[in-house]
Amino acid sequence: MQAHALLSIDREELRPFFERVPELFEAHHLHESQNPDGYEELLYRIYRPYTSGMFDMIDEWMGHGYRNWHSDVEREVMLMLYAIRYPDTLLLESLSDETDLDVKRISGYLHFMKHTYSIWDEDTRKGLAKLGILIPGTDKADPFVYGAYITAIELLKDLAPYYSFIEHDVPRQRLFQAALAAYGRED
Amino acid sequence: MGPTEVVEQYQPNFEAWIDQFNEWQTRIGFDSAWLGDYRFEIKFDWDTAGDTIEFGDFEGMPKWDRRMQVPQQTVCDAIISMVSVQGDTEFASVEQQWHLLESAPTEYDRKSAMRIMCEEQRHGWQMAYVLCNYFGDHGVREAQKLLERNSSANPVRGEDDRPRLLGSFNEPIDHWLDFFMFTHFIDRDGKFQLKMLSTSSFKPLAASMGPMLKEESFHLGTGANGIRRIVTQGTIPCALIQKYVNKWVSTGLDLFGVDESTSATWAYVYGIKGRYDEREATVPADRDHLNEESRAHYFDELNLEMERINARRKEGQSALFIPSDKFNRSVGKFHGKKHDLHGTPFEGSDEEWKEYLDSVLPNDDDEAALQEYFKEEWIQYREWKE
């Protein structure tokens, strides 16, 4: 996936974005709608052993509604979260249909429990599209679509010059995902 | 030895250096098994290196790709010196820090420190590679010296070892509070040095800096974040933390070198080492005060970072502050002069000055108190995420 992206990506097209990563990150992450303090608190408050309460905290920060999950479903998701290793996403396919996970919700759990997985966000997807990286839209936690999404962000992280990396207490995946979201929202 | 054997046993210079590096790891006590699947790579970012010399007397000419293009031997010697000093610090910090791995407060901190040590060694490799591949026998000899000197702070140090080139890299890092101070204050100086070399007229040196800067940002982030976590937890009183701030800030300021430095001026004239904000600067460089200017940028950044750290303070804890740049200096115009933490000249006797230093820098009682705090939950917990 990454080798393919390296061959087809237009590095010149990335340059204006890379130059603006710090400013774009601040525009998105530090916006009050993103509750940056709440985000940073979650970096510390989510740790093993995972609990329902941790799901609740993530849901609250992400702005998700109540999870109408049977306890078996919750256990299934939790086991998946223990087992999954970045950058694998195929494990998402092992979840039963009853789980009916949306990609935004599961990406939030993955992000705060692993940090290396990126939060799924429509604006971020648009930002990637502006850079020539087309990721199909989806509501479902499709392992291939979400896999392409996180790999694209990882690739940008690898290609970015040093001046894109600001000193901030957030994982680098969040730095780029947030910058892409702000970039995607621009006309 | 026949010609076939000579060919068979020939090792390219950098390959031979790698063997010496492996011996260095063993000699200093660093177990190579700790690296796991980490592999040292030579990384260049040619895109950000630039094609044209950006400042100095050769400005506007093409950057030098090879030694033979460097116009004078003095310029070549200055480049070798810059690369050697940078490489020296990379290996020194590993010698200073590896012994802390077994006492890490959390798995997150242990793995963060391990990542830092892996990357510092990679930076040392990068500098050795530049020396061996671009500067012939002279470069090879300097690359060997990177492994012959040894931090005075290294717990495994032979009597014949020579100390590392810069003061901070011979200071003991006895515990994790010192580790976070070092990564916050001293690695931040490293960021400044790398950025100043990122515009270098010697292109392989400039191109080495981009990947190193990317990695360095994690190192100093670990330091700043570590201090914030300690302050957030509130177990160690800020008054005690302040003493360690006082200790490390002055040595960080010293790393920028003497005031009115002629070697900094020549490095600028040759286009080897620019200002911290060389590409953004809108005014011509004051070539006689280059170190002072870089130091002032660093000092401003320390003050800004301290505001972020103070924002995490628990109620009742005193505010942390960056001591005056005149305090306790060993290099520059304030060397040997007595100024208090706020920069006011100290009027007392030598004996009173000694007492004052004892009250504002860590002493044996402080170290003992710190060891007691380390038995408690002294730093905000953070999980290492696989």
For the cut 70, the answer to whether the pLDDT of residue B6 exceeds it is: no
Q: Is B50 left (phi over 0), alpha (psi -120 to 50) or beta?
A: left
Contact list, A113 vs chain B (CB under 8 Å): 385
Contacts of residue B365, Cβ cutoff 8 Å, sequence gap at least 6: none
Would you kindly state where each structural domain of chain B is located, as residue ranges?
Answer: 49-373
C-alpha distance from B49 to closest chain A C-alpha (Å): 10
Q: Encode pLDDT of B325-379 as tens digits.
A: 999 999 999 999 999 999 999 999 999 999 999 999 999 999 999 999 999 999 9
CB A120 within 8 A of CB A103: yes
The DSSP output letter for A118 is P
Contact list, B47 vs chain A (CB under 8 Å): 11, 161
Of A46, A160, A169, the CB nearest to B225: A169
Q: How confident is the model at residue A1, as a pLDDT?
A: 47
Domain tally, chain A: 1
Q: Encode pLDDT of B99-143 as tens digits.
A: 999 999 999 999 999 999 999 999 999 999 999 999 999 999 999
ipTM: 0.90
Q: How many residues does chain A have?
A: 187
In chain A, positions 97-116, which contact chain B (CB-CB < 8 Å)? 113-116
Mutation site, B111, B197, B385, interface A, largest A CB count within 10 A: B385
- Mean of the per-residue pLDDT values of chain B: 96
Say whether A44 and B217 touch across the interface (CB within 8 A): no
Q: Encode pLDDT of A11-68 as tens digits.
A: 889 999 999 999 999 999 999 999 999 999 999 999 999 999 999 999 999 999 888 8
Of B48, B383, B385, the CB nearest to A161: B48
In chain B, positions 22-81, which contact chain A (CB-CB < 8 Å)? 45, 47-48
Contact list, B214 vs chain A (CB under 8 Å): 160-162, 165
C-alpha distance from B78 to closest chain A C-alpha (Å): 25
Query: pTM of the predicted model, to two decimals?
Result: 0.94
CB B226 within 8 A of CB B183: yes
Q: How confident is the model at residue B323, as a pLDDT?
A: 98
Cross-strand bridge partners of residue A102 = A140
Contact list, B45 vs chain A (CB under 8 Å): 161-162
∠ CA(A171), CA(A172), CA(A173), 5° rounding? 90
d(CA A130, CA A34): 22
Q: Is A34 on the interface with B (CB under 8 A)?
A: no
A90 phi and psi angles, rounded to 5 deg: -65, -25
Q: Is A66 on the interface with B (CB under 8 A)?
A: no
Q: How many residues does chain B have?
A: 386
Q: What is the residue type of A171?
A: P
Q: Which residues of B355-369 are buried (b: 16+ CB within 10 A; e: fewer)?
A: eebeebbbeeebeee
Peptide bond into B105 cis (omega under 30): no
Contact list, B386 vs chain A (CB under 8 Å): 85-86, 114
Of B214, B220, B385, the CB nearest to A116: B385
Between the CA of residue B71 and those of B56, B65, B269, what are the distances in Å?
Answer: 14, 12, 13
A38: containing domain: 2-185
Topology (CATH level 3) of domain B49-373? Ribonucleotide Reductase, subunit A (1.10.620)
Contact list, B190 vs chain A (CB under 8 Å): none
